[in-house]
Structure 1
Amino acid sequence: MKRILFLLVVVAIFFTSCSDWLEEHPKAVAAETFYNTEEEADAAVLAPLAKFRSGFAMSYPGLLECFADYAYGRGSWEANSDYEGLNTQNQTRANMVWASLYKAIRDCNIAISRLPEASGLSETSKAAYLGELRFIRALSYFYLVRSFGSCPLRTEENMADYNLGKSSVDDIYAYIVNDLLYATENGPDKARLVGTPCKNSARSLLAQVYLQLEKYQEAATFAKQVIDSNAYSLVPVSSSRDFEKIFGAGVVNTTEEIFYLKQDNTTKNGWEFVMFCAHPSALINGKPMCGAGGWYGLYTTTENQMIAEWDVKDLRKDYNLLLHDFGLGDNTYLMAKFYDPDALSGSGSGNSNPLIRFPDVLFIYAEAITKATGTPTIDAMEMLNRIHRRAYGYDPNSPSEVDFKLADYGSVDKFMDLLIKEQAYECMNEMKRWFFLCRLGIAKDRIKKIKGIDVAEKHMLFPIPTTEFDYNEALDPSKDQNPGY
């Protein structure tokens, strides 16, 4: 199945390679008309996913993990952990994120505009494909609006208009919600291929978006629908290395996968972020952390408060961290969640990028229902305990001696303090922590508490790329650039 996915990606790239509009002068958008069979519609969905594997897949995880309270950047990435905004080198990386996301949006817009006219597909089938595309478009805008704030809202209706001003954050979120509501109703019940979205992918993302908008009851409702679907479960573990069954390079999919970017270490479609985290001499079980080498651009230390307080009996600690002296002293850890000893030079690694997995939905529901009701509930605590039990090697669905007791976390503040800690340990190195802290409005306080650094206000948003101002005449850099850049 994984092979099929990448063969189709090649087809998708072939059909879309001629439309690199973000890197060219404004021109008319061609109206591709090849969406008449299931194979062609498959290619339409896989095309925008291929765009995620460019600047997004490497630059975004690196940037966001450097911002996390538990990690530090090294080398050219070190400046990100100063929290003074992006320097020139890292602005270039942010530009790649912007470009890959808008290229994905363009691919979605073309297919969304043409699929309704497809003669070889049933109306139900067309609606399902449109649901997948609208999920991917919503996901792209969700990353854009959180990183860049207000930005151009390019749709299938205005995609021929290159000169387009910024839309408000509120309007962008309304558009995201509308796309996701469509996807929850019309997307496929199950993923057609490994790595393509389904209705539960849309419900999960919609729950996250509603949480971002502080619509807690709506967030709880959609998260609970995913949980109650019984389509997902936590993968049990009994040792730290058992987490390889979840994150390993050879894993095709698992019972907790909701939406991942799939990778392949035998082609150029592999994930470079694994190499970014690794050191060339670092070994796990006697094998290289990454067979292709390593840049060790990300690390943490034994002195970081979150790391120092992490219980050594928690199997996630030993799995996520590899003590390794790479020149900064014997107190440094490599971020070892993603490990691929068989990665080939120039190909990237085979580990999948877990954008949405089942623990994310459990966290969303636990927070949303607590804030919706104004008090922690037994149900909310059970969601955290499922994750916590698994972390210690217990059956996630059965009470254990490591369970948190609701009586000890009776207020919203106490419960949230617990959830904030558990989210860090569970989702470490998955590029989720910075957005999580920003959404809660505690990013500046956390960085000051853990790292002793003041976060500059300009650091809260990425700069809009200068190339956008060069080619989009509706934007004025003196007025439309984000503050501080």
Structure 2
Amino acid sequence: MNISLKTFIIGFAFSCLACSCAEQFLDVQPGSQYSSDFLNTKEGIEAITNSAYQNILLTGDAGVNRIYVEESCTDVFVNFRGLLNGNLQPFMDFTWAASQGYLQDFWRSNYRAIRDANLLLNAIPEHPQLNDDEKRQLSGEMHFIRGFAYAYLYSWFGSVPLVTPDSELLLARSSDAETRAQIESDLSAAADELNTTTPLYGRATKGAALGLLAQYYLQTRQWEKASETAQQVMDLKLYGLWSDVRTLFALNNEGNKEMIYAAPAIAMTGYGNVWIANALPPGYPTDVMNTATQVCLPLAFYQTFTDGDQRKELILTRYTNKNGAVIDLTTGEEYQNPRSFKYPLDPAQVERHGGMDFPILRYAEILLIKAEADVMAGKNIADALPYLNEVHTRAGLAPYRKVDIPDQDHFIELVLNERKWEFFSEGRRRQDLLRQDQFLQNAIDRGKHAQAFRKLFPIPQSEMDANPNLVQNDGY
């Protein structure tokens, strides 16, 4: 891990302490207890900037919890035992409620990021210590952070209150059109203002802003815009696929050309990646802390991989435990299901916390966005197929042939499968299924009582109780 990354994350920790006095119960708020003198210093700007990033680039338990929630209501995740199981079972069973703590945590962290971004966007134009280049860069970063936060909130809850520096405390939800316009405006502004490079790993770039905008356009079925924006990322000629998917996530390959944007992690309590500690099976031969919970990949999902797919090598199916016994993780009996080792063991791991970054946007996704968006927009399958094949063949597989893909439905099925195999343990599956109207049927096919209102999560009950102007999503 490089020094700038370590400095960045440690800065997160100190910024959390600096901003803790500003926290109120209801996090949908424009207010702050930062003094104007503090905001008028570069030190104040940096502290609030670090706080904003910390609230969107979730690490520690919050980082994996976001992925767990996204995936536990799909076919690429299953969990057994431990305290974590009690929190995730409702998501696996399609019985989650507005009182679920992970929903509250996610809502609040994103609104803290929005609060910080609003503070700086208000302070930047007349700031006495920033030059024009610094103002433009910082404005781009804050638009990026605010757009990022609203995009995530929209994907979980639908339309949400849009907070500005001048907002009242208790806001009603904005309309769907207003929420979508805000996301597009913020990420577009970020793409216009940001540079293609950044001096500090983990900060926003033009490529990251364009990539998140392409993600957003795809998810909201704006196919032409998704295709065009993905093409803009490719036209930057800064990114490409890492040659070997088996080493893509290795600690010594962090910041490689495929990782357009990632949440930096370090082996420090609260700021690391705890995935592997929760995924380790009983008695696995390592000194890394092995928790009681058992985070697994369903055997049925593992069995969908094609023979020869190198991505299977990121999955543990057999090991020799500390007592010398060979354990088979393909029996499918309770926690004897395969384990995702996509986030590798870190020799420097502190308790559960390792230094494996969380990928937020990879070049592989840009290629698959382009493929899906082009075909959904009615373009020729033959023209879109190379984008799909670039990811598919990187995994060591033979390319798909146009002659075997008769129509749009078959092509999209291939894309969704590719995304399933490529992005497991990265929190993409729920959105993929929703976008192609397969979310409910996927759950029903697995024996879940999946009702239509479950396409959105409920507004957290704590926020409903604190703000009488909020209206809950239907069904909750």
TM-score for the superposition, normalised by structure 2:
0.88
2:392 to 388, 392, 398: 388
Shift of residue 328, structure 1, vs aligned partner: 3.4
Instruction: Tell me, in whole angstroms, the C-alpha distance in 2 between the residues paired with 1:32 and 1:338.
Output: 41
Residue of structure 2 in register with 1:367 after alignment = 372
- Any stretches of 5+ residues in structure 1 without a counterpart? 393-400
Residue of structure 1 in register with 2:281 after alignment = 279
Residue of structure 2 in register with 1:416 after alignment = 412
Instruction: Tell me, in whole angstroms, the C-alpha distance in 1 between the residues paired with 2:47 and 2:260.
Output: 21
Instruction: Out of 417-426 and 180-189, give the one that drifted further.
Output: 180-189
Residue of structure 2 in register with 1:157 after alignment = 166
2:243 to 236, 241, 256: 236
Shift of residue 437, structure 1, vs aligned partner: 0.9
Q: Deviations over 1:9-63 (max 9, x none)?
A: 2343243222112458989533544455666544333211212336741321111
Instruction: Out of 29-38 and 363-372, give the one that drifted further.
Output: 29-38
Tell me: CA distance 1:17–1:190, structure 2 relative to 1, closer, same or farther (3 Å).
same
1:60 to 55, 66, 71: 66
Contact 1:194–1:252 (CA under 8 A) maintained in structure 2: no
Residue of structure 2 in register with 1:467 after alignment = 462
**Pair 1:186-2:193 in alignment:** yes
Instruction: Out of 247-256 and 356-365, give the one that drifted further.
Output: 247-256
Shift of residue 276, structure 1, vs aligned partner: 2.9
Tell me: CA distance 1:122–1:276, structure 2 relative to 1, closer, same or farther (3 Å).
same
Instruction: Tell me, in whole angstroms, the C-alpha distance in 1 between the residues paired with 2:436 and 2:115.
Output: 31
User: Which amino acid is the alignment partner of residue 405 of structure 1?
Assistant: R
Tell me: CA distance 1:427–1:28, structure 2 relative to 1, closer, same or farther (3 Å).
closer
1:259 aligned counterpart, secondary structure: strand
Shift of residue 177, structure 1, vs aligned partner: 0.2
Instruction: Tell me, in whole angstroms, the C-alpha distance in 2 between the residues paired with 1:16 and 1:71.
Output: 35
User: Which amino acid is the alignment partner of residue 483 of structure 1?
Assistant: D
1:332 aligned counterpart, secondary structure: coil
Contact 2:29–2:163 (CA under 8 A) maintained in structure 1: no
Instruction: Tell me, in whole angstroms, the C-alpha distance in 2 between the residues paired with 1:309 and 1:319.
Output: 15
Q: Deviations over 1:386-442 (max 9, x none)?
A: 1112111xxxxxxxx711112222421111011010000000110111011112211
Shift of residue 267, structure 1, vs aligned partner: 4.6
1:4 aligned counterpart, secondary structure: helix
**Pair 1:21-2:24 in alignment:** yes
1:174 aligned counterpart, secondary structure: helix
Contact 1:337–1:429 (CA under 8 A) maintained in structure 2: yes
Residue of structure 1 in register with 2:96 after alignment = 85
Count of matched residue positions in the alignment of Structure 1 and Structure 2: 455
Residue of structure 2 in register with 1:114 after alignment = 123
Q: Deviations over 1:232-253 (max 9, x none)?
A: 111112xxxx63x322345431
User: Which amino acid is the alignment partner of residue 183 of structure 2?
Assistant: I
2:261 to 242, 259, 262: 259
Tell me: CA distance 1:325–1:164, structure 2 relative to 1, closer, same or farther (3 Å).
farther
Instruction: Tell me, in whole angstroms, the C-alpha distance in 2 between the residues paired with 1:329 and 1:15.
Output: 45
**Pair 1:173-2:180 in alignment:** yes
Residue of structure 1 in register with 2:11 after alignment = 8
Residue of structure 2 in register with 1:439 after alignment = 435
2:317 to 322, 325, 344: 322
2:291 to 294, 298, 312: 294
Instruction: Tell me, in whole angstroms, the C-alpha distance in 1 between the residues paired with 2:475 and 2:351.
Output: 37
Shift of residue 4, structure 1, vs aligned partner: 2.4
Contact 1:73–1:80 (CA under 8 A) maintained in structure 2: no
Residue of structure 2 in register with 1:43 after alignment = 47
TM-score for the superposition, normalised by structure 1:
0.86
Tell me: CA distance 1:101–1:27, structure 2 relative to 1, closer, same or farther (3 Å).
closer
Contact 2:219–2:431 (CA under 8 A) maintained in structure 1: no
Residue of structure 2 in register with 1:100 after alignment = 109
Shift of residue 466, structure 1, vs aligned partner: 2.0
Instruction: Tell me, in whole angstroms, the C-alpha distance in 1 between the residues paired with 2:39 and 2:400.
Output: 52
1:167 aligned counterpart, secondary structure: coil
2:225 to 218, 235, 244: 218
State the superposition RMSD in angstroms: 2.6
Tell me: CA distance 1:133–1:274, structure 2 relative to 1, closer, same or farther (3 Å).
farther
2:21 aligned counterpart, secondary structure: coil
Contact 1:61–1:430 (CA under 8 A) maintained in structure 2: yes
Instruction: Tell me, in whole angstroms, the C-alpha distance in 2 between the residues paired with 1:26 and 1:129.
Output: 21
Instruction: Tell me, in whole angstroms, the C-alpha distance in 2 between the residues paired with 1:24 and 1:133.
Output: 18
Shift of residue 230, structure 1, vs aligned partner: 1.3
2:343 aligned counterpart, secondary structure: coil
Residue of structure 2 in register with 1:397 after alignment = none
Instruction: Tell me, in whole angstroms, the C-alpha distance in 2 between the residues paired with 1:308 and 1:193.
Output: 41
1:270 to 265, 269, 272: 272
Residue of structure 1 in register with 2:354 after alignment = 349
2:381 aligned counterpart, secondary structure: coil
- Any stretches of 5+ residues in structure 2 without a counterpart? 319-326
Instruction: Tell me, in whole angstroms, the C-alpha distance in 1 between the residues paired with 2:40 and 2:142.
Output: 16
Contact 1:292–1:343 (CA under 8 A) maintained in structure 2: no
